[in-house]
Each structure stands twice: as structure tokens, then as C-alpha cells.
Amino acid sequence: MPAKNQTIGEFIIENQSSFAYTSGELSRLINSIRLAAKVVNHEVNKAGLVDITGAIGGVNVQGEEQQKLDVYANERFIETLTNREIVCGIASEENDDFITIEGQNCDHKNKYVVLIDPLDGSSNIDVNVSVGTIFSIYRRVTPVGTPVTKEDFLQPGNKQVAAGYIVYGTSTMLVYTTGDGVNGFTLNPAIGTYYLSHPNMKFPETGKIYSINEGNYNHFPQGVKDYIKYCQAEEGDRPYTARYIGSLVSDVHRNMIKGGIYIYPKSSKSSNGKLRLLYECNPMAFIVEQAGGKASDGFTRILDIKPTELHQRVPFFCGSKKMVEKAEEFMENASKK
């Protein structure tokens, strides 16, 4: 068990042997994400003091109105990863296409690509509610020395070598996995250093929280409606408690600590759901599984889905294992009727 007073830098060095590849490149990549997160955190904490909240006037590739901080966070993460020349490509939820990294010392020799949701839940900024960043890291599949292609990004989630999220809340935390468990680090803002605060994070096997936007109840598939009624029934340890923040990072983070399930299903309004497979569901599913939980689209393991496009959407069920299995049971039963 690592010491809780370890800095994230010390932890990365000490645990480098647990990485699938130990060239040091992955360690430097995680360090770069940590640095960009500190810059974004500083800006997020100024909300209400300077003109950084609200819409910027444009829309992203998803057709969603961009917030000023969406654009700021996207620029900072891309800038930091590009300037350090440690990745060969970046794909962002905010950009139409992936970015090929080229530089004087690059020559397409780097091995990793990063996929990122720079500011998840950004519409909550205006009302001082937690938001986050989600990232996913893969080894490229095209030959080193050549420019990256879409094939490097359209890999199933089970090929991830690392994934994580940063939650900007009452404290700022960076939570990540390299396939050897999940650890959380809290930022000490006085000195700008992340310290290990939540070693070996685990989902309780079951819980009493369900997180779903029940305002869309009438548009949900029957299996989801049946599961919601199950959660609300007064029987055994139920009814469960409904908790929904509207920020994937914040909802999943809470459920990992307290036990619960998060659901964003398909609906009559969104035939494939709203969440993006590559930027949100895959990285969160990797973290959830590494923490002993489960993640699926209601029927199929998220990490086994083969992506077909950069901005593909999928339904998403994740959290405490027994709760997800129960929800899948309702989905399966409804599909047979």
C-alpha cells in the first residue's frame, strides 16, 4: 500500500514498473496532463471574478453550444501536450477531427495518442457546481515514424494503456489508472502539488444511489423505466437515493466512493444516447472496471465495443457491479417482450 503523503511524481516513478511499457514516455505524458489540469483548475477557480463563464457564441462538432471554459480548457490541454512533443496525435471532443503532432524533434516517433474531453459538465460552471476533465491514452497501431491516422484513435477501450479524470470541486483531484488499480491524488493549492489521498480506490459491490436524469423518463426504453421503478420500490434496502449532478466525472466519482450506478441511456430523443464512446465512456469504463465496478451499454461491455467514428455515441451504464448487473437484467427482460 503506497504512503498517502506521496506526491504524484513520486508515485509515478515508484510504480513505473507496473506500466505496460516502461520507456518513461507514459510517465511524462501523465505528468503533462497533470500540469495542464493545474492551469485549467486555476482558471476554473476564477469563475465569477473574471469574464470566463457563459457561452462563447459557437457550437462544437456535437452541435452543442460551446462554453468559454470549454474552449480555454481544450486549448490548454492541446497546447501542453503538443509543446512537450510526447504524443503523436490528439483527439478532442471539441474538435471535428484528430490532430497530428508534428515538430522539430517529433518526426512522428512518439508512441501514444490521447483522447480527451477537456471540460465535462461545463454548463455547471455558471452555478459553481463541480466539473471535470476526462482523458484516455492508447499506444498507436500505425508504424512509428509515420503520421497518425484515424485507425490509431478508433481502438476498442480494452486497448487503453491509461485513463483518468480530474474533478474540479471543493478540492481538485486527479484519479487515474494504468491497468493496475485506481489511485486518486488531491491538489494542495498552496504549493501546487498533488498528493496521494485515495490509494487503491474501489467501488462498493453494491450501493444505494442511482444517478440518471429522470426528467427524460418518458423517453427512456422500457428496461430503464423498469429499473427506475425497482430503485424506487420500498422493499429490502430500497428505495435507493436519486443523485444526479449532470457532470459525468462528478457523478461517477461520488458513486465510486459511496456506491451507486450512473445511467445515461438511449432515448426517443437520442437514439444512441448522448455520451461519447471515445472521450467519455471508454476512459470511465476502464477506471470503473479497475476499481472493481462494471460498465456496459445495457447489454454489452463498453470496453469491447469497436469504434467506427471519432464522435460515436453510446448508452452508458456504470458503477457498483451488482447494481449494473441488475439494470442489465431489466434491460434483457424488456428486450424479450
* Annotated binding-site ranges: 93, 117, 119-123, 213, 244, 274, 280
List the one residue out of 246, 210, 215 whose CA is nearest residue 228. Answer: 210
Cα gap 44→33, rounded to integer Å: 16
Cα separations in angstroms, 110 against 84, 113, 136, 177, 197: 11, 9, 16, 21, 32
Taken as a whole, the chain contains a residue count of: 337
Residues making up the annotated binding site for substrate are 120-123, 213, 244, 274
3-state secondary structure of 247: coil
Residues making up the annotated binding site for Mg(2+) are 93, 117, 119-120, 280
Spatial neighbors of 124 by CB under 8 A, at least 6 apart, are 130, 131, 245, 246, 247
Cα gap 335→266, rounded to integer Å: 14
What end-to-end distance do the CA atoms of the chain give, in Å? Answer: 49
Spatial neighbors of 171 by CB under 8 A, at least 6 apart, are 186, 187
| Residues 307, 155 contacting (CB under 8 angstroms) | yes
Query: Which cell numbers hold the place of 199?
Result: 490509494
Query: Which cell numbers hold the place of 144?
Result: 512509428
Cα gap 51→157, rounded to integer Å: 37
Spatial neighbors of 251 by CB under 8 A, at least 6 apart, are 211, 243, 244, 245, 262
The secondary structure of 165-230 as a DSSP string is EEEESSSEEEEEESSS-EEEEEEETTTTEEEEEETT----SS-SEEE--GGGGGGS-HHHHHHHHH
Nearest-5° Cα angle at 54, 35 to 73 = 15
